[in-house]
Amino acid sequence: MTRNPRYDILFEPVRIGPVTARNRFYQVPHALGTGNQMPHTRAAMREVRAEGGWGVVNTGYCSIHPSSDDTPLPYCRMWDDEDIKVHSLMVDAVHRHGALAGVELWHGNSGVGNRLTRVTPVSVSGISFSGSYAGWISLTKSRTMDRQDIREFRRWHVDAARRARSAGFDIIYIYAGMGYGPYQFLLPWMNKRTDEYGGSLPNRVRLMREIIEEVKEEVGQTCGVAVRFSPDELLKVPGETLQTEAHEIISLLSDLPDLWDVKASRWTVETASARFAGQGAHEPWNSFVKPLTSKPVVGVGRFTSPDEMVSQVKRGILDLIGAARPSIADPFLPNKINQGREDEIRECIGCNICVSSYHDGVPVRCTQNPTMGEEWRRGWHPEDIPNGDPEKSVLIVGAGPSGLECARALGQRGYAVTVAEARDELGGRVTIESKLPGLATWARVRDYRTNLIQVMGNVDIYRGSPLSAADVIDFACDHAIIATGAHWIREFPDVDGNSAGDITGKTVYTPDDILSGATPEGPVIIYDFDHYYMGNCLAELLHRRGIEVTLVTPASTVSAWTFMNNELADIRARMIELGIELLLEHRLTGFDKQMVRLANVHDIDAVRSIECGSLVMVGVRSANDGLYRELKSMPGEMADAGIQALHHIGDCRAPGAIAHAVYSGHECARGIDADGSVDTFRWERPVL
């Protein structure tokens, strides 16, 4: 297949100072959850992007000094010469495939707590960033930088840039965004200085200019020097000569750096989920930059459509198509466009499971790409998978996310695969849940896999085909894989955490009921102790149907887990916008079909009753594993039928997020030759 000519512009080279990117596909700096502690894992995760066709592949944020310590979150560092070899591993891996390697030099200022190093944080005026989440609050406040601190601050950047050049990096970043580095000096509400680094905008820009000039003097002959800048806050501040201070900053520095990387000042905005921000949502705060500089501009926007990428370039918004999440979902996105296979792109769904992995302090994972983070540890490649035995037959019962991924991977391996789906529609829970408000992109989990499966001659799918244990045995396959999903239950725990029993009655619903079309009588109480998206999505769905809704949760905030995937604030704002009443820190203790009884989690004697026409329980999912257990109890019959192994995957094995189901299906397909046993892991180990 050949490339569509309308995408030719995406494959034009772009010069970045003394180096040239081979195309416009630019994997921007983003954290991987590996830090310096997992150099092989990090190198393999970056290498696969270079192999997949990205012209530039960057590290995550890389600390330049022990006074910039983001522990317990995993970050890179360039503190001394010993760190060079760690980065060289990644640089060499990226260079093997013809891509440029970039490093984002970072100093957190008062945005970090230095919990590990215990160095007192520094800031422009002794003002520390505040946060309301306990994990981000530091009890150590910052001290004001004096002139000696500023000289050292500049030297730290130069020293780190010199080490980065020694490691082989082609592009070296200066980070002036998200409250970090010289960005604090730019903000008038943080910079209260009265010396040459405070007051007027040229003074506030002074440190940023000095760092750029000194880094360029040190490494600019061989390395491109980039600036990562957050303009959105400063776009709200009127300028003296131009429209805003953001315009004036770009104008003052204009062509000094070799590249402008423009991003949001808040990570929750930069990585807003697909539910709250569409493709290209960053355009309002990065579109003003190109007219003010002759240097290339890169920005992100969760770009998955090549047509939108072309539009960004042709309309003069961006020169380079920046990506973090789309490059995670499909490291081979550029190559697929280049080869005319854009219909095979594994599109990011914007669920932000990747973000939650970083918050967990583990290598980034992905709902769409189950190989993410397993490239070195398990030797998994996102596109290549070892051939299997084409004489072996596999029956998969269930075509949800785990069943479809298992079928896709087994089909690619060459097995003879049959999929039996009880419903008329494929996709299982992703098909159902993609109809919830804002979750339409989740259907991509189904569509990517069905699009590939439908052209595989060795995979057959039968819809509307529920199977019994006898049917499975009669099929007489070599491997039987049960992927029958899970269901929500009505049971809820009492105030002591013990089971309060099953709530029966026509006025008690589960999410399955609502998603199957049931319309509960209002007022509706949603009791959410699942703490993810389902409770608030159902509240929005029922509200839009004109039903009065109150969302009750024992947590201290609505959908508490979603802090992990950066949706928490947006969900709370959406509930307020819709006027949905929230009752936090209350447990459900009973329901008599007219009133619910609730107890305060801090005082079980503080009981209240609320009128309730219908109760929706959002808390526990139970595996639909009856078929698996029945077959498991029939070893003789299975052996007689020639069934060599029985597997259960996805929610049928253990209910979880969609990412867990996809991973489970992929793992089963990879390990089916060894009767589904887990591959041997490789572990990063310190050298003593």
What is the three-class DSSP state of 381?
coil
Which tokens hold the place of 533? 């998206």
% of the chain exceeding 90 in pLDDT:
88
In angstroms, the CA 338 to CA 332 distance is 10
Chain Cα centroid distance, residue 578: 27
Average predicted confidence (pLDDT) for the chain: 94
* In contact, 610 and 598? CB cutoff 8 Å: yes
The catalytic residue positions are 180
DSSP structure string for 612-661: -SEEEEES-EEE--HHHHHHHT-HHHHHHHT--EEEE-GGGTS---HHHH
Say how far apart CA 451 and CA 434 lie, in whole Å: 17
Phi-psi sector, 272: left (phi>0), alpha (psi -120 to 50), beta: beta
Q: Where are the alpha helices (DSSP H) in 52-137?
A: 82-95
Measured from the Cβ of residue 282, the count of other Cβ atoms closer than 10 Å reads 24
Residue by residue, DSSP assigns 567-587 as -HHHHHHHHHHHT-EEEESEE
Q: Which domains are present in the chain?
A: 5-360 (3.20.20.70), 393-485+624-674 (3.40.50.720), 490-621 (3.50.50.60)
**Alpha-carbon span 208 to 220, nearest angstrom:** 16
Report pLDDT digits (tens) over 178-208. Answer: 888 999 999 999 999 999 999 999 999 999 9
Which is it for strands 603-611 and 581-584: parallel, antiparallel or unpaired?
A: unpaired
What's the whole-model pTM score?
Answer: 0.95
Give pLDDT tens digits for 374-388: 999 999 999 999 999
- Per the listing, tokens 């009880």 go with 422
C-alpha separations of 11 from 24, 303, 348 in Å? 6, 16, 21
Short-list 486, 530, 429, 511, CA closest to 623:
486
Q: How confident is the model at residue 501 (pLDDT cuts 50, 70, 90)?
A: very low
d(CA 524, CA 591): 12
pLDDT at 234: 93
- For 539-566, what is each residue's pLDDT tens digit? 999 999 999 999 999 999 999 999 999 9
One DSSP character per residue, 313-326 reads HHTTS-SEEEESHH
pLDDT value at 499 more than 50:
no
User: What distance in Å separates the CA atoms of residue 253 and residue 239, rounded to the nearest whole number?
Assistant: 15
For the stretch 202-244, pLDDT in tens is 999 999 999 999 999 999 999 999 999 999 999 999 999 999 9
Query: Residue 28's pLDDT is what?
Result: 97
- The set of residues, in sequence order, having a beta carbon less than 8 Å from that of 683 and lying 6+ positions away, is 377
